[in-house]
Amino acid sequence: MRFSNLLLTFTAAATALKLNQNINSANATPVDTNECSGFKPQMVDLTSDESSIVAQIKNAAENHGVFYVCNHGIGLDLANEVSKAFFDDLNQTERNQFLGRGYVGIAKETLNKHTQTVGDQKHGFSFKSTLPSNATKPILNPPLVWSNTSKINVADNMHKVVFDLTSLGTKLAEYFCLALGIDRKCLSGYLDVPLRYLRLLEYPAVKSIPEQGIFAAGAHTDYGLITILDIQQGSSGLEILVNGAWVGIPKLASCLIINVGEMMLRFSNGRFKPVPHRVVMSEGTEARRSMPFFLNGNNSMTVYPLVPAMPGQNDFANTTFAEFLAAKIKESFPDGTPNQKLRA
């Protein structure tokens, strides 16, 4: 093999490695969104014409990997009810009965072992589904005891939310395909039986101290295809890495935040960038609650580049999401907690 070709074989891997190195080495002081070279996340209005939506998503995915979607038509009151039922109506002893059955305690997950001295200052409950994307009751693991004793119907509420978010994620996936210049259904096979997680998270009102390695959530990129995030309560706290600086991303009323995941990086052959992000709590803020929905696709299907490599780069290597996820989980849950199956 000629040296030039040998060099190209490492380019895709080097792209992913550089991304991780940037996350692990960046300790810049957060700056206000408006002060970072005029950076503002793209706001995508889903009632706009399709060509405008595709162009906006393409621009956001190629540059920073994060954008807002507004006028999305998703009702999130049901999820807010369940979040309040779990964090407000249950005490810690009652929540602990779900350890290993959806609940992950405070500091049990470490999203960045390179920059964190303690685990993430958050806890939460995860709902999981591996049923077909058109299943009207897609959740596999709502806890029966909680469902039967809660004042609200936890299972029915979350079935509805996961179904609606799956529909939104599938539509967004079509826009990503069009942004690559290929058929809108290019990811339909990957999303026919998608692995999905919906997490209800609470970040206690504990000030983050980045210089001491204490974060509400450590710096990371999301593992799957697309993440849909709703910030339910409190300040945003979300920061993304832009040109070596951590930039605060404010929450916008009635809008959702979309993160590009690492599987999208591979499908797009490096064109669409997963966004490095973290959560930092300021002093004096109330507890933060959020609901991320991870759309990860078929667990066993091969993930491969859908478009040719960019000039000077080689194709990303084929993988499956299951293989990729297993390695990432091992990093995030160093103590081997049984809840590792619930992180995506």
Q: In this predicted model, what pLDDT tens digit does every residue of 191-212 receive, in sequence order?
A: 999 999 999 999 999 999 999 9
pLDDT of residue 121: 97
Q: Judging by DSSP bridges, how do beta strands 256-260 and 196-203 pair with one another?
A: unpaired
- Indicate whether 2 pLDDT > 60: no
pLDDT of residue 336: 57
pLDDT of residue 82: 93
pLDDT digits (tens, 9 = 90+) for 328-342: 777 766 665 444 443
The rounded mean pLDDT for the chain is 86
pLDDT digits (tens, 9 = 90+) for 245-299: 999 999 999 999 999 999 999 999 999 999 999 999 998 889 999 999 999 989 8
Of all residues in the chain, the percent with pLDDT exceeding 70 is 85
- Indicate whether 343 pLDDT > 60: no
pLDDT of residue 21: 54
**Higher pLDDT, residue 14 or 102:** 102
Task: Give the model's confidence band at 20: pLDDT under 50 very low, under 70 low, under 90 confident, else very high.
Answer: low
The mean per-residue pLDDT over the stretch 229-239 comes to 93
Q: At what angle do helices 50-63 and 154-179 cross, to 10 degrees?
A: 90
pLDDT of residue 288: 96
- Which residues 6+ apart lie within 8 Å of 182 measured at CB? 306, 307
- Indicate whether 214 pLDDT > 60: yes
Place of tokens 């039967």: 148
**Higher pLDDT, residue 50 or 301:** 50
Domain extents in the chain: 3-342
CA distance 323 to 280: 30
Measure CA 106 to chain center.
Answer: 19
CATH of 3-342, one of 3.30.1490.20, 3.40.50.300, 3.50.7.10, 2.60.120.330: 2.60.120.330
The mean per-residue pLDDT over the stretch 14-22 comes to 53
pLDDT digits (tens, 9 = 90+) for 59-107: 999 999 999 999 999 999 999 999 999 999 999 999 998 988 899 999 9
* SS3 assignment for the chain: CCHHHHHHHCHHHHHHHHHHHHHHHCCCCCECHHHCCCCCCEEEECCCCHHHHHHHHHHHHHHCCEEEEECCCCCCHHHHHHHHHHHCCCCHHHHHCCECCCEECCCCCCCCCCCCCCCCCCEEEEEEECCCCCCCCCCCCCCHHHHHHCCCCHHHHHHHHHHHHHHHHHHHHHHHHHHCCCCCCCCCCCCCCCCEEEEEEEECCCCCEHHHCECCEEEECCCCCEEEEEEEECCCCEEEEECCEEEECCCCCCCEEEEECHHHHHHCCCCCCCCCEEECCCCCCCCEEEEEEEECCCCCCEECCCCCCCCCCCCCCCEEHHHHHHHHHHHHCCCCCHHHHHCC
